[in-house]
Amino acid sequence: MCTSAIITDSDFDKFGVDDGAIYWNACEGTYNTSIESSDCKDNNDQVNPGALETCDGADNDCSGGIDDGIGECNPGPAIEMQNTIGGEEGDGLYSLETTSDGGYILGGYSYSPVSFDKTEENFDEDRYTPDYWIVKVKSDLNIEWQNTIGGDSTDVLTCVKQTSDGGYIIGGYSESPISGDKTEGVLGPEADYYDYWILKLDDTGIILWQNTIGGSKTDELWSIEQTSDGGYILGGFSSSPVSGDKTEGNLWIVDYTYDYWVVKLNSLGFIEWQNTIGGSDGDSDWASRIEVKQTTDGGYILGGNSKSPVSGDKTEASLGSMDYWIIKLDDTIQAYNLAKYDWWVRL
């Protein structure tokens, strides 16, 4: 039996703090305990009297000096402020933008009911599927407003941008039928197939309009941006054939292989044009995201991953498995491949 007086060691680094709690008849290393009381930060196992000092703006070895004894050191900017925001279930952030008032707009998904920071219930009563969760924070990172948006199945918010009118355009993917906030059902089978789901919000997060865009298989939206004409450019990937809103089939018709899918909307969310771009193998996958940006000449730059050989729209073979694939689109929807060393090849 161990009879020493043992004190709290919350981070299991064998160095504790004398917080007034004494554990008798305990052994060192059990019950979060230690016989050493010299830890200076007991919630970080990288900070204790036995640690090495590193250039990070902290007193790693508890010597009383910051970054001491390691020569010239520039640890970079220190943390100014932070905030942990969530409810009692899983909540994930996918998109973050600064806003015109000096604050920030956050977008992601939430499984949480009303709890902690969450003020609105999940639309799935069993909490098996997530909803969009958009949160506006002020410049001090405190919550200004929030909105949970979803139907009764999976809805994942991947991108949010402030628009020129002070409101927001948000998008992601959804498999929800008409339910909750969803006014249009999925365009394919409801199980395991997603569509783009885009919503326009006002400056307080209230829904102004929405559009579900997709085909009969999976279509996932990962990028959205307001364009110079007041419309929106969407970038994501698709495994759908010609069906629903999709006017061009995949170049590789196998379940769960994808092509890029670029969609241009007008200011009210209606489709103006679209382009399916790919090769004969997977162009993006479930672990990838696609980015699209408008360029100064009025065209677009599109980028993601690809493992296709020379085929379809692809003019250069994959160099291994997945590689970067970057494409320049002009303002009349004609595509260029941006090859290595900045050579452009007209298709």
The confidence score (pLDDT) of residue 8 equals 82
pLDDT, tens only, 230-248: 999 999 999 999 999 999 9
Query: If you search the block for the tokens 């069906």, which residue do you land on?
Result: 243
Residues of the chain with confidence (pLDDT) below 70: 1-5, 22-31, 190-191, 252-256, 282-288, 333-347
Give the class (CATH, top level) of 91-346: mainly beta
Quote the CA–CA distance of 150 and 187 in Å, as a whole number: 16
The confidence score (pLDDT) of residue 182 equals 98
Contact 73, 60 (CB under 8 A): no
Quote the CA–CA distance of 318 and 283 in Å, as a whole number: 10
| φ and ψ of 127, to 5 deg | 60, 35
According to DSSP, the β-strands at 91-98 and 33-34 are: unpaired
Contact 155, 148 (CB under 8 A): no
pLDDT, tens only, 109-158: 999 999 999 999 999 988 899 999 999 999 999 999 999 999 999 999 99
The confidence score (pLDDT) of residue 341 equals 25
Give the start-to-end residue ranges of the domains of the chain. Answer: 1-78, 91-346
